[in-house]
Structure 1
């Protein structure tokens, strides 16, 4: 995913400023930056499985099922990363804080059915009249929201929005560290 591209052209001995320019999220939290990198690697693996699973007109159900299983873990991790960042929204510029809030809502919408097997905002179960992820063969994708929801949520679209928000963060958008958010 795009977040990982920041590290492709690594400097041999970068200065602190060069490191923060390359990975601004580490100015908020070095630990969380590593989690974002791990999520980006996981997303890349999911995309590889989807591409291979829908390859050349033949469907490899095992690859797609593996992608769906990894997607469940990605949703849980992505939600927690974004929730942590949004909880400390005073550490970010207003535009980044707003983007994090929107992304958190998108992730919350898919997290509830995936993690708790409940409809978002209620204690009603998610039904089993569709697999946890719908297969979107034409787009080589899986749908990751409540199967009864009238608007489908694409795994690839979630990855793109996650990348857009997190890769859009610049060093100037980080106003303080995660640690400092607990001091106020």
Structure 2
């Protein structure tokens, strides 16, 4: 369980903490715990991935606040972030729900419509400042991976449909080589 000093630094009167899943204690990735306060509120205590920065969390908070202001039910920030044991910690609103298992075509269509609405809602969210050199360096290999995935998707679609879009495959392969 998280050390009591974490929740003390966050300024919360915690009455109960429970892990959301096994293995978060030792993980270098995100860790999440259900957190209940003395006034009965249910939140999520999150320990962020070792590579997350305060700047990341500032942007994450801006996105979540932006969506909250537009009526979305998202895990908006309640407290934090704070540093403890060389990791960032914060508390967010608990959002009930669970993922669909074995989605139906209707559920996939609904997910697509929600994703489209999300993109529309975020179109006017401005990112502050240019990308850092680290961000630009991280994007370059991702662009290559994306292009390889586009070729693989075109090949997979061609195999499924019995017709390959050679123009698209050549276009993506040309972008990989450049």
Q: TM-score, normalised by structure 1?
A: 0.26
More strand by share: 2
More helix by share: 1
